[in-house]
Amino acid sequence: MGGRAPWTDVRLRAAWARGDWAAVLREYRRATGLTQQALEPLVGMAQPYISAIESGRRKVKTAAVRARITEGLNVPQELIDAGQSDSYGRWEPSPELRERIAHGHRTGRTDLRTADWIGEVLATQRRAEDEVGGADLWPVVRSQLDAVTRLIPGTSGEAADRLMLLAAEHAHWLSWVAWQNQHRGAALGWLDVAHGWAVDGNHTDMASWVQRVRAFYSRQSGDPVRALRTAEAARHVTGASPAAVAVAAHEAAIAAAAVGERDRARRLSDVAFIDASRVPDEADRPGWLYWLTPTRAQLQAASVAYACRDWRAAAEGIRAALPELEGYPRDRAHFQQRLDDAERRI
């Protein structure tokens, strides 16, 4: 396994981002199936030396050794450009990062192949989150964001707008992980950054999605009235696709149920289901809504039924969709708990 292939691996990229050279060697070998002996010709070091680094008995201190490892393992250029930093472990967006919200400062060309590659890696990481966990993914996604935003000042026009969408996707993901780890101020900060990039790049689906996430945060914080207002704003973003409207309508439905407007919640749930049904193919949805399958649309409708205390409808909907969640242990456990509760209440 050579070239870039191993570098889609989450743990390997995270090890590089935090500058943990012992972990870089270990994770590279795990991702490729290579032995320490097989690594010798790649990095130009004997097996005992590799073993000493991996075990922590030797530190990588010189530029020459770092260069050997970097070149020998074909570290992607965007990771090299982003660098290695302890700051990737911090939760809040830095002032420097915030200041990068801008279109190109000069007309120029940028490496969009690098941007496409980072986008592919982010898609892989989204799917890995359920098993790996957001906190483990954090350092590498944070470093990838630096790689993307440093490309923005060197470009303009459609290329800059495309990079801004990719940056907004990363910032939104960081917001979500920060929220899950109880860093709520940082989560809102990242959401602001994501929204700024989405608006500046004229990406209506991302702007709608960020508003929808903000509504979710408000509801989780005990403010369903604000959540409903924000979700309705997300639903009516001009130019938003059916997929974006569907998830915004679903969030509005849950919030409506929370404030006691059950008829409104049911109407919004129908809107969400119809719009989601218009985009059954993943290629027709924004990348971050890869999960909005017909099964997920059915589960969303069941969730609204549960919120409205329509226990039988909730149980039937969840029961029918539950087998499709085999590859998502966290989600399956959540909906199984909902199903058990609904059946008890029936």
pLDDT of residue 105: 41
pLDDT tens for the chain, residues 1 to 346? 445 678 888 788 888 888 889 999 999 999 999 999 999 999 999 999 999 999 999 999 898 999 999 999 999 887 887 777 766 777 888 766 766 554 444 444 556 777 777 777 777 777 666 566 667 778 878 888 887 887 777 777 777 888 889 999 999 999 998 998 899 999 999 999 999 999 988 999 999 999 999 999 999 999 999 999 999 999 999 999 999 999 999 999 999 999 999 999 999 999 999 999 999 888 889 988 988 999 999 999 999 999 999 999 999 999 999 999 887 888 899 999 999 999 999 9
82 by Cβ neighbours in 10 Å (0-12 / 13-18 / 19+) ranks as buried
Q: CA 212 to CA 130: how far, in whole Å?
A: 21
Helices of type H across the chain: 10-17, 21-32, 36-43, 47-55, 63-72, 77-82, 95-98, 112-132, 134-149, 157-180, 184-200, 204-220, 224-235, 242-258, 262-277, 294-307, 311-321, 329-345
pLDDT of residue 335: 95
> Integer distance in angstroms from the first to the last C-alpha of the chain?
54
Of 167, 177, 178, 232, the residue nearest 206 (C-alpha): 167
State the pTM of this model: 0.76
Residue 164 and residue 201 in contact, taking contact as beta carbons nearer than 8 Å: yes
